[in-house]
Structure 1
Amino acid sequence: MRKAALFSAFLLAAAAAIPAALHAAPEAPAATAADPAMAAALADPRRDKDRVRDAFRHPAETLAFFRIKPGMTVADYMPSGGWYTRILVPYLGDKGTYIGLTAGTATANAETKARLQAFPTTFPGKAAGWTGAPEARIPAFTLDAVPAERKGTVDRVMIMREVHNMWPDNFLYNDLAAIRSLLKDDGLLGIEEHRAKADAPAAYTLGTMGYMREADVIALIEAHGFKLVAKSEINANPKDSANWPDGVWTLPPVLALKDKDRAKYEAIGESDRMTLLFAKRP
């Protein structure tokens, strides 16, 4: 707990130094069905099982806030089951590039290292099956083995609900450095993360309950070569008290308690989330 308190004090002090003007930065206009490319991507039959979560994850609005457009090169950190892959690959189109990224292996134990090293081989095939695009259009890399020619070529990187894993698992420092090297000079980093209350205990600094305090996340990312340029309440959920004994996994879609109080948690919905946009520091 002392370690958590020390981390908390450092992060909150760093967050206090963030200029107020950055917090007030205007949001990009939200995409709607009026964007035909987005409408087509969201309506794709391959997303039939995904669509139930659209009301909580607001994909069109979130991607618009990240200023993602067709034709861009977008890297998706830890894409897991491909929820955003199934949107981004068709949305970016033939002139765009979707890149799957996974954590670097330097700080991983033997079991995790083997899984991470398999990702560049296994992910393109999975993504091709999910999207109908050829494997050649879906490159994938561990962050410590990205080809040199890819560096400085990426328009956007997305980290969706993974900072709470990156920080305690000791991936954050190396992976953010690698992500920064991938981005173009005017590239942007979009982050969505489960949000603890601002006055949550210091233990929430460590992310072990799945939630993190917004000020801590901003301070962590800014300490690694980025600056906050905008924040959004697109993915906010005021019904979430963010203090569940079983962490964020108490809520949908995981529902860790199974049928116990299921109706209660389904009525709350998915977690309250911060949505943040960062630029590279010079």
Structure 2
Amino acid sequence: MKRVLAILLTVAMSFAVMAGCTNQNSGSGNQTEDIVASVKKSDAIAAALPDRVKTAGKIMIGVDDSYPPMEYRDDNNALVGFDVDFGNALGKKLGVEVEWVPTAWEGIIPSLQAAKFDFILSSLSITDERKLEIGFSEPYIQGGPVIITLKENTSIKSGDDLVGKVVGAQLGTTGEDAAKSVEGVKEIKSYDKITEALQDLSAKRTEAVVADDQVGRYYIALDPEKYIVAGKMVEEPFGIGFRKDDTALIDAVQKAIDELKSEGTLSKISMKWFNSDYYKN
């Protein structure tokens, strides 16, 4: 799912596509501060942290800061996004500071293995191939390509319904791969930016757009009266990546994740960024 280059340069680009819409998902400000500030430290979980983390008083997190809305730089060059809020909330739960370590995507796993940071929190898909190299938390959110249509279109519910349709997708994403995997699609139009794909969908030059889940929902939240997620094509779980032998940290972080889920913190962060609760039972 992750691309080396930024999918979008700034949130402001969305306003050019969806004129008049109000951005409900501010990348910084009081909403983020309130969510993270409300998280309480768990003394029991903090006590289980590895000695090196306790001594340092911080966790170092590797991130490729080029993938909005998960992790990216806002107009003030501040690091923002769903994963960023999540990581900062983890720090609060563990009772340690968080230091983000920006790392190019192609080098992020080697840098983890070289102990440049403690773990990766950066839209990292859990795959069998990666499991041979690193350890993972349990999935903290489900990604994967989704089908976006105009709200008025009720004829498309699944990948099978794309047969005979003109479909848009962003170049080089798993959304484009998923669209190409459907036999019988009339035409696939590929775009440099997801905003361009949505613009053509709005103009009815395409009948659907296949996009990465979180990216798609982020832009749908900007104009929920126009677009909907009509269906999901493939599940793609994201996890936090660790060095395999760092078992004490894996266990402590997993317990912290479980508490953030159960107390509703992850639901709040999800609603902020996607206008959708990925943690609702």
Q: TM-score, normalised by structure 1?
A: 0.30
Question: Rg: which structure is higher?
Answer: 2
Comparing both structures, which one devotes a greater share of its residues to helix? 1
Q: TM-score, normalised by structure 2?
A: 0.30
